Structure 1
Amino acid sequence: MSFTNVAEAVEAWIHGWTVSRGAAEPAPQPWGFTVDVGLPGHVVRHVLPTTDEAAIRKITETTTAAGVWLKAPVPPETLESWLAPGWSLAGGPGFLMSAPLRTARTEAPTETADGYRLRTWTRAGITRALVRTPDGAFAARGQIVVTGATAVVDQVETDPAHQRRGLGRLVMRTLVAVAAGAGATTGVLAATPEGQALYEAADWRVLAPLTGAVRS
Protein backbone atom coordinates (compact mmCIF):
# COMPACT_ATOMS: atom_id res chain seq x y z
CA MET A 1 0.00 0.00 0.00
CA SER A 2 0.97 3.65 -0.21
CA PHE A 3 -0.62 6.68 1.43
CA THR A 4 -3.19 8.53 -0.65
CA ASN A 5 -2.89 11.73 1.39
CA VAL A 6 -1.05 13.30 4.32
CA ALA A 7 -3.90 12.70 6.78
CA GLU A 8 -3.70 8.96 6.17
CA ALA A 9 0.05 9.01 6.81
CA VAL A 10 -0.31 11.03 10.02
CA GLU A 11 -2.93 8.59 11.31
CA ALA A 12 -0.67 5.61 10.55
CA TRP A 13 2.24 7.36 12.26
CA ILE A 14 0.42 8.19 15.49
CA HIS A 15 -0.99 4.68 15.85
CA GLY A 16 2.50 3.20 15.55
CA TRP A 17 4.07 5.93 17.70
CA THR A 18 1.75 5.15 20.62
CA VAL A 19 2.82 1.50 20.56
CA SER A 20 6.48 2.46 20.30
CA ARG A 21 6.25 4.86 23.25
CA GLY A 22 3.92 2.78 25.42
CA ALA A 23 1.22 5.45 25.29
CA ALA A 24 -2.55 4.93 25.33
CA GLU A 25 -4.49 4.10 22.18
CA PRO A 26 -5.26 7.29 20.21
CA ALA A 27 -8.76 8.54 21.07
CA PRO A 28 -10.59 9.88 17.99
CA GLN A 29 -11.66 13.53 18.02
CA PRO A 30 -13.56 15.57 15.41
CA TRP A 31 -10.24 17.15 14.39
CA GLY A 32 -7.90 14.17 14.92
CA PHE A 33 -6.67 12.22 17.95
CA THR A 34 -5.84 12.68 21.63
CA VAL A 35 -3.21 10.44 23.21
CA ASP A 36 -2.58 9.97 26.94
CA VAL A 37 1.21 9.78 27.17
CA GLY A 38 1.47 10.01 30.94
CA LEU A 39 4.94 11.49 31.36
CA PRO A 40 6.00 14.52 33.41
CA GLY A 41 6.10 17.39 30.95
CA HIS A 42 4.29 15.32 28.33
CA VAL A 43 0.98 14.30 29.82
CA VAL A 44 -1.27 14.44 26.75
CA ARG A 45 -0.65 14.83 23.03
CA HIS A 46 -3.16 16.13 20.48
CA VAL A 47 -2.46 15.12 16.88
CA LEU A 48 -4.15 16.76 13.89
CA PRO A 49 -3.90 14.89 10.57
CA THR A 50 -4.85 18.00 8.58
CA THR A 51 -4.07 21.71 8.53
CA ASP A 52 -6.96 22.86 10.72
CA GLU A 53 -6.34 26.42 11.92
CA ALA A 54 -9.67 26.73 13.73
CA ALA A 55 -9.11 23.52 15.69
CA ILE A 56 -5.54 24.46 16.65
CA ARG A 57 -6.64 27.89 17.85
CA LYS A 58 -9.47 26.38 19.90
CA ILE A 59 -7.30 23.65 21.44
CA THR A 60 -4.58 26.06 22.49
CA GLU A 61 -7.00 28.72 23.73
CA THR A 62 -8.91 26.27 25.96
CA THR A 63 -5.93 24.31 27.29
CA THR A 64 -4.32 25.77 30.40
CA ALA A 65 -2.59 22.70 31.90
CA ALA A 66 1.16 22.38 31.48
CA GLY A 67 2.64 19.42 29.67
CA VAL A 68 0.04 19.23 26.89
CA TRP A 69 1.54 18.77 23.44
CA LEU A 70 0.18 19.27 19.95
CA LYS A 71 1.44 17.94 16.62
CA ALA A 72 0.20 18.97 13.16
CA PRO A 73 1.34 18.87 9.51
CA VAL A 74 1.96 22.63 9.50
CA PRO A 75 5.20 24.61 8.98
CA PRO A 76 6.66 26.00 12.23
CA GLU A 77 6.12 29.66 11.34
CA THR A 78 2.45 28.99 10.54
CA LEU A 79 1.76 26.92 13.63
CA GLU A 80 3.44 29.49 15.86
CA SER A 81 1.13 32.22 14.57
CA TRP A 82 -1.93 30.12 15.53
CA LEU A 83 -0.87 29.34 19.11
CA ALA A 84 -2.53 30.98 22.11
CA PRO A 85 -0.42 32.63 24.86
CA GLY A 86 1.36 30.07 27.03
CA TRP A 87 2.13 27.82 24.07
CA SER A 88 5.45 27.59 22.23
CA LEU A 89 6.99 25.50 19.50
CA ALA A 90 8.51 22.25 20.73
CA GLY A 91 11.86 21.80 19.04
CA GLY A 92 12.74 22.82 15.52
CA PRO A 93 11.22 21.88 12.17
CA GLY A 94 10.00 18.33 11.71
CA PHE A 95 9.08 16.25 8.69
CA LEU A 96 6.63 13.44 8.04
CA MET A 97 8.39 10.95 5.77
CA SER A 98 7.45 7.72 4.04
CA ALA A 99 8.98 4.98 1.88
CA PRO A 100 8.04 1.65 0.35
CA LEU A 101 9.59 -1.23 2.28
CA ARG A 102 11.48 -3.55 -0.02
CA THR A 103 11.85 -7.20 0.91
CA ALA A 104 14.91 -7.66 -1.33
CA ARG A 105 17.34 -5.99 1.09
CA THR A 106 20.08 -8.25 2.38
CA GLU A 107 20.18 -9.12 6.06
CA ALA A 108 22.35 -6.79 8.12
CA PRO A 109 25.56 -8.24 9.58
CA THR A 110 25.83 -8.69 13.34
CA GLU A 111 29.31 -7.15 13.33
CA THR A 112 30.83 -4.46 11.12
CA ALA A 113 34.33 -4.39 9.68
CA ASP A 114 35.50 -1.95 12.36
CA GLY A 115 34.14 -3.98 15.25
CA TYR A 116 30.74 -2.42 15.98
CA ARG A 117 28.24 -5.04 17.08
CA LEU A 118 24.56 -5.10 16.19
CA ARG A 119 21.83 -6.77 18.21
CA THR A 120 18.09 -6.86 17.53
CA TRP A 121 15.19 -8.09 19.62
CA THR A 122 11.40 -7.92 19.57
CA ARG A 123 9.10 -7.54 22.56
CA ALA A 124 5.47 -6.44 22.77
CA GLY A 125 5.35 -5.68 19.05
CA ILE A 126 8.43 -3.44 19.06
CA THR A 127 11.65 -4.45 17.30
CA ARG A 128 14.75 -2.67 18.53
CA ALA A 129 18.19 -2.47 16.96
CA LEU A 130 21.21 -1.60 19.11
CA VAL A 131 24.74 -0.96 17.89
CA ARG A 132 27.57 -1.07 20.43
CA THR A 133 31.24 -0.27 20.16
CA PRO A 134 33.86 -3.04 20.35
CA ASP A 135 34.14 -2.41 24.10
CA GLY A 136 30.37 -2.43 24.60
CA ALA A 137 29.49 1.27 24.76
CA PHE A 138 26.41 2.75 23.10
CA ALA A 139 26.85 3.78 19.47
CA ALA A 140 23.43 3.82 17.77
CA ARG A 141 19.88 2.59 18.11
CA GLY A 142 16.37 2.63 16.65
CA GLN A 143 13.05 0.81 16.81
CA ILE A 144 10.12 -0.07 14.58
CA VAL A 145 6.48 -1.07 15.06
CA VAL A 146 4.49 -2.96 12.44
CA THR A 147 0.77 -2.13 12.32
CA GLY A 148 -0.61 -4.21 9.47
CA ALA A 149 0.66 -3.01 6.10
CA THR A 150 2.51 -0.04 7.60
CA ALA A 151 5.52 0.24 9.89
CA VAL A 152 6.55 3.20 12.04
CA VAL A 153 10.24 3.89 12.62
CA ASP A 154 11.01 5.68 15.89
CA GLN A 155 13.86 6.96 18.06
CA VAL A 156 16.71 6.42 15.61
CA GLU A 157 19.84 8.05 17.00
CA THR A 158 23.61 7.81 16.75
CA ASP A 159 26.02 8.95 19.44
CA PRO A 160 27.85 12.07 18.17
CA ALA A 161 31.20 10.35 18.67
CA HIS A 162 30.19 7.60 16.26
CA GLN A 163 28.43 9.52 13.51
CA ARG A 164 29.40 9.37 9.80
CA ARG A 165 30.34 5.70 10.06
CA GLY A 166 27.22 4.23 8.49
CA LEU A 167 25.66 3.15 11.78
CA GLY A 168 22.40 5.02 11.18
CA ARG A 169 22.09 3.34 7.79
CA LEU A 170 22.82 -0.01 9.41
CA VAL A 171 20.06 0.52 11.95
CA MET A 172 17.57 1.62 9.29
CA ARG A 173 18.42 -1.27 6.97
CA THR A 174 17.97 -3.71 9.84
CA LEU A 175 14.62 -2.29 10.97
CA VAL A 176 13.23 -2.09 7.43
CA ALA A 177 14.20 -5.71 6.78
CA VAL A 178 12.37 -6.85 9.92
CA ALA A 179 9.24 -4.88 9.05
CA ALA A 180 9.19 -6.05 5.44
CA GLY A 181 9.63 -9.62 6.61
CA ALA A 182 6.59 -9.14 8.87
CA GLY A 183 4.45 -8.08 5.90
CA ALA A 184 4.65 -4.29 6.08
CA THR A 185 4.88 -2.61 2.69
CA THR A 186 5.03 1.09 3.63
CA GLY A 187 7.05 2.89 6.28
CA VAL A 188 6.36 6.21 7.96
CA LEU A 189 8.32 8.28 10.46
CA ALA A 190 8.73 11.74 11.97
CA ALA A 191 12.16 13.20 11.21
CA THR A 192 14.27 16.03 12.56
CA PRO A 193 16.33 18.10 10.09
CA GLU A 194 19.38 16.06 11.13
CA GLY A 195 17.63 12.76 10.48
CA GLN A 196 16.09 13.88 7.22
CA ALA A 197 19.37 13.49 5.33
CA LEU A 198 19.84 9.94 6.63
CA TYR A 199 16.35 8.91 5.60
CA GLU A 200 16.51 10.58 2.19
CA ALA A 201 19.71 8.66 1.48
CA ALA A 202 17.69 5.50 2.13
CA ASP A 203 14.99 6.60 -0.38
CA TRP A 204 12.48 8.01 2.09
CA ARG A 205 10.63 11.13 0.96
CA VAL A 206 9.06 14.06 2.78
CA LEU A 207 5.26 14.08 2.69
CA ALA A 208 4.66 17.19 4.79
CA PRO A 209 6.04 19.30 7.62
CA LEU A 210 5.24 17.94 11.09
CA THR A 211 5.57 20.53 13.82
CA GLY A 212 5.09 20.24 17.57
CA ALA A 213 4.00 22.73 20.22
CA VAL A 214 3.72 22.48 24.01
CA ARG A 215 1.84 24.30 26.78
CA SER A 216 4.25 25.42 29.50
Structure 2
Amino acid sequence: MAEATLTISSRNYSSWSLRGWLLCRMAGLDLSVTILSGSDAATRAELLHLSPSFLVPRLEHGAITVWDVLAIAEYLNEIRPEAGLLPEAPAERARCRAVSGEMHGGFINLRSALPMNLRSLHRGFKIFNGAKGDIERICAIFEDCLSRSGGPYLFGARPTLADAMYAPVCTRFRTYDVALPFTAATYRDTILAWDLMNEWAALAESEPEEIEELDMEF
Protein backbone atom coordinates (compact mmCIF):
# COMPACT_ATOMS: atom_id res chain seq x y z
CA MET A 1 0.00 0.00 0.00
CA ALA A 2 1.33 3.44 -0.98
CA GLU A 3 2.26 5.81 1.82
CA ALA A 4 0.29 8.70 0.28
CA THR A 5 -2.64 9.35 -2.05
CA LEU A 6 -2.95 12.28 -4.42
CA THR A 7 -6.40 13.11 -5.76
CA ILE A 8 -6.36 14.88 -9.13
CA SER A 9 -8.81 15.76 -11.87
CA SER A 10 -7.51 15.49 -15.44
CA ARG A 11 -3.98 14.78 -16.57
CA ASN A 12 -4.67 16.33 -19.95
CA TYR A 13 -6.37 19.53 -18.84
CA SER A 14 -5.50 20.23 -15.20
CA SER A 15 -2.41 22.33 -14.62
CA TRP A 16 -2.96 22.21 -10.86
CA SER A 17 -3.04 18.42 -10.85
CA LEU A 18 0.23 18.35 -12.79
CA ARG A 19 1.89 20.73 -10.33
CA GLY A 20 0.80 18.70 -7.32
CA TRP A 21 1.92 15.42 -8.87
CA LEU A 22 5.32 16.82 -9.85
CA LEU A 23 5.91 18.06 -6.31
CA CYS A 24 5.01 14.71 -4.78
CA ARG A 25 7.25 12.83 -7.19
CA MET A 26 10.10 15.31 -6.66
CA ALA A 27 9.76 14.72 -2.92
CA GLY A 28 10.03 10.97 -3.48
CA LEU A 29 6.69 10.02 -1.99
CA ASP A 30 5.43 6.48 -2.51
CA LEU A 31 2.27 7.68 -4.20
CA SER A 32 -1.02 6.35 -5.46
CA VAL A 33 -3.22 8.58 -7.62
CA THR A 34 -7.00 8.88 -7.53
CA ILE A 35 -8.65 10.59 -10.51
CA LEU A 36 -12.00 12.29 -10.09
CA SER A 37 -14.64 11.62 -12.69
CA GLY A 38 -15.03 14.15 -15.48
CA SER A 39 -18.72 14.34 -14.62
CA ASP A 40 -17.93 15.55 -11.11
CA ALA A 41 -19.19 19.13 -10.69
CA ALA A 42 -16.14 20.28 -8.72
CA THR A 43 -13.81 18.88 -11.37
CA ARG A 44 -15.60 20.72 -14.17
CA ALA A 45 -15.63 23.95 -12.17
CA GLU A 46 -11.88 23.72 -11.66
CA LEU A 47 -11.07 22.88 -15.28
CA LEU A 48 -13.34 25.63 -16.61
CA HIS A 49 -11.90 28.20 -14.20
CA LEU A 50 -15.29 28.64 -12.51
CA SER A 51 -14.22 27.57 -9.04
CA PRO A 52 -12.96 30.20 -6.56
CA SER A 53 -11.21 27.51 -4.49
CA PHE A 54 -9.53 24.40 -5.84
CA LEU A 55 -9.68 21.30 -3.65
CA VAL A 56 -7.63 19.29 -6.11
CA PRO A 57 -4.91 18.29 -6.08
CA ARG A 58 -5.42 16.93 -2.59
CA LEU A 59 -2.68 15.03 -0.77
CA GLU A 60 -3.50 12.50 1.94
CA HIS A 61 -0.43 11.39 3.89
CA GLY A 62 -1.16 9.40 7.01
CA ALA A 63 -3.47 11.50 9.16
CA ILE A 64 -2.64 14.66 7.18
CA THR A 65 -4.83 16.01 4.38
CA VAL A 66 -3.61 19.07 2.51
CA TRP A 67 -4.81 20.77 -0.67
CA ASP A 68 -3.70 23.81 -2.69
CA VAL A 69 -0.43 23.41 -4.53
CA LEU A 70 1.58 25.88 -2.45
CA ALA A 71 0.36 24.31 0.78
CA ILE A 72 1.31 20.87 -0.54
CA ALA A 73 4.75 22.20 -1.47
CA GLU A 74 5.35 23.67 1.97
CA TYR A 75 4.20 20.44 3.65
CA LEU A 76 6.48 18.34 1.46
CA ASN A 77 9.39 20.68 2.14
CA GLU A 78 8.84 20.17 5.87
CA ILE A 79 8.78 16.38 5.74
CA ARG A 80 11.32 15.90 2.91
CA PRO A 81 13.77 18.85 3.11
CA GLU A 82 16.40 16.71 1.41
CA ALA A 83 14.33 16.81 -1.80
CA GLY A 84 15.34 20.42 -2.37
CA LEU A 85 11.92 21.73 -3.33
CA LEU A 86 13.17 25.13 -2.18
CA PRO A 87 16.72 26.46 -2.70
CA GLU A 88 19.14 26.38 0.22
CA ALA A 89 20.19 30.04 0.18
CA PRO A 90 17.66 32.29 1.98
CA ALA A 91 17.62 34.93 -0.77
CA GLU A 92 17.00 32.36 -3.49
CA ARG A 93 14.45 30.54 -1.36
CA ALA A 94 12.53 33.80 -0.99
CA ARG A 95 12.76 34.46 -4.74
CA CYS A 96 11.55 30.93 -5.49
CA ARG A 97 8.53 31.45 -3.25
CA ALA A 98 7.87 34.84 -4.85
CA VAL A 99 7.86 33.66 -8.47
CA SER A 100 5.85 30.58 -7.50
CA GLY A 101 3.30 32.76 -5.74
CA GLU A 102 3.09 34.97 -8.81
CA MET A 103 2.19 31.93 -10.90
CA HIS A 104 -0.26 30.69 -8.28
CA GLY A 105 -2.27 33.89 -8.13
CA GLY A 106 -1.70 35.59 -11.46
CA PHE A 107 -1.54 35.28 -15.24
CA ILE A 108 -5.32 35.00 -15.53
CA ASN A 109 -5.37 36.13 -19.16
CA LEU A 110 -2.93 33.41 -20.18
CA ARG A 111 -4.86 30.75 -18.27
CA SER A 112 -8.15 31.63 -19.93
CA ALA A 113 -6.80 32.25 -23.45
CA LEU A 114 -4.38 29.29 -23.53
CA PRO A 115 -5.92 26.49 -21.44
CA MET A 116 -3.77 23.45 -20.82
CA ASN A 117 -4.44 20.68 -23.33
CA LEU A 118 -1.55 18.26 -23.78
CA ARG A 119 -3.18 16.36 -26.64
CA SER A 120 -3.66 19.40 -28.87
CA LEU A 121 -1.33 21.40 -31.08
CA HIS A 122 -2.44 24.70 -32.66
CA ARG A 123 0.04 25.95 -35.25
CA GLY A 124 -0.05 29.70 -35.83
CA PHE A 125 -2.43 30.28 -32.94
CA LYS A 126 -3.54 33.92 -32.63
CA ILE A 127 -2.56 35.27 -29.21
CA PHE A 128 -4.43 38.37 -28.08
CA ASN A 129 -2.95 41.31 -26.21
CA GLY A 130 -4.06 40.30 -22.71
CA ALA A 131 -2.22 37.01 -22.87
CA LYS A 132 0.80 38.63 -24.54
CA GLY A 133 1.49 40.68 -21.42
CA ASP A 134 1.43 37.54 -19.28
CA ILE A 135 3.77 35.76 -21.68
CA GLU A 136 6.23 38.65 -21.62
CA ARG A 137 6.25 38.67 -17.82
CA ILE A 138 6.81 34.90 -17.66
CA CYS A 139 9.69 35.15 -20.12
CA ALA A 140 11.19 37.90 -17.96
CA ILE A 141 10.96 35.62 -14.91
CA PHE A 142 12.68 32.83 -16.83
CA GLU A 143 15.45 35.19 -18.00
CA ASP A 144 16.04 36.60 -14.54
CA CYS A 145 16.08 33.27 -12.72
CA LEU A 146 18.24 31.51 -15.26
CA SER A 147 20.76 34.34 -15.49
CA ARG A 148 21.16 34.20 -11.72
CA SER A 149 21.28 30.41 -11.35
CA GLY A 150 22.99 29.32 -14.56
CA GLY A 151 20.20 26.79 -15.20
CA PRO A 152 19.18 24.46 -16.61
CA TYR A 153 16.31 24.79 -14.12
CA LEU A 154 15.11 28.09 -12.72
CA PHE A 155 17.18 27.81 -9.55
CA GLY A 156 20.07 25.73 -10.74
CA ALA A 157 20.96 22.12 -11.43
CA ARG A 158 17.83 20.50 -9.99
CA PRO A 159 14.11 21.26 -10.25
CA THR A 160 12.42 23.19 -7.45
CA LEU A 161 8.92 24.36 -6.58
CA ALA A 162 9.24 27.09 -9.22
CA ASP A 163 9.82 24.57 -12.02
CA ALA A 164 6.77 22.59 -10.93
CA MET A 165 4.71 25.78 -10.95
CA TYR A 166 5.80 26.85 -14.44
CA ALA A 167 5.87 23.40 -16.07
CA PRO A 168 2.22 23.61 -17.23
CA VAL A 169 2.98 26.97 -18.83
CA CYS A 170 5.70 25.30 -20.88
CA THR A 171 3.13 22.82 -22.19
CA ARG A 172 0.88 25.73 -23.17
CA PHE A 173 3.74 27.34 -25.06
CA ARG A 174 4.06 24.17 -27.12
CA THR A 175 0.32 23.57 -27.53
CA TYR A 176 -0.32 27.08 -28.85
CA ASP A 177 2.91 27.47 -30.83
CA VAL A 178 4.04 30.51 -28.82
CA ALA A 179 7.13 32.24 -30.21
CA LEU A 180 9.62 32.72 -27.37
CA PRO A 181 13.01 34.41 -26.86
CA PHE A 182 15.99 32.06 -26.88
CA THR A 183 16.34 31.68 -23.11
CA ALA A 184 12.65 31.01 -22.56
CA ALA A 185 12.51 28.56 -25.48
CA THR A 186 15.53 26.68 -24.14
CA TYR A 187 13.95 26.45 -20.70
CA ARG A 188 10.65 25.29 -22.22
CA ASP A 189 12.48 22.49 -24.00
CA THR A 190 14.30 21.52 -20.80
CA ILE A 191 11.01 21.17 -18.95
CA LEU A 192 9.30 19.28 -21.78
CA ALA A 193 12.23 16.83 -21.86
CA TRP A 194 12.09 16.26 -18.08
CA ASP A 195 11.48 12.57 -17.38
CA LEU A 196 8.59 13.31 -15.00
CA MET A 197 6.90 15.44 -17.67
CA ASN A 198 7.28 12.66 -20.22
CA GLU A 199 5.74 10.21 -17.76
CA TRP A 200 2.77 12.51 -17.11
CA ALA A 201 2.27 13.19 -20.84
CA ALA A 202 2.20 9.48 -21.63
CA LEU A 203 -0.48 8.95 -18.99
CA ALA A 204 -2.45 11.91 -20.36
CA GLU A 205 -2.43 10.34 -23.82
CA SER A 206 -4.23 7.28 -22.50
CA GLU A 207 -6.71 9.22 -20.39
CA PRO A 208 -10.36 8.70 -21.41
CA GLU A 209 -12.03 11.78 -22.90
CA GLU A 210 -14.79 12.16 -20.32
CA ILE A 211 -15.16 15.93 -20.51
CA GLU A 212 -16.62 16.17 -23.97
CA GLU A 213 -17.66 19.82 -23.88
CA LEU A 214 -14.47 21.20 -22.41
CA ASP A 215 -12.84 22.56 -25.55
CA MET A 216 -15.87 24.54 -26.66
CA GLU A 217 -16.58 25.89 -23.22
CA PHE A 218 -13.18 27.52 -22.85
Q: TM (normalized to structure 2)? A: 0.25
Higher relative contact order (CA 8 A, sep 6+): 1
Flag the structure with higher helix content: 2
Computing the radius of gyration over CA atoms, which structure comes out larger, 1 or 2?
1
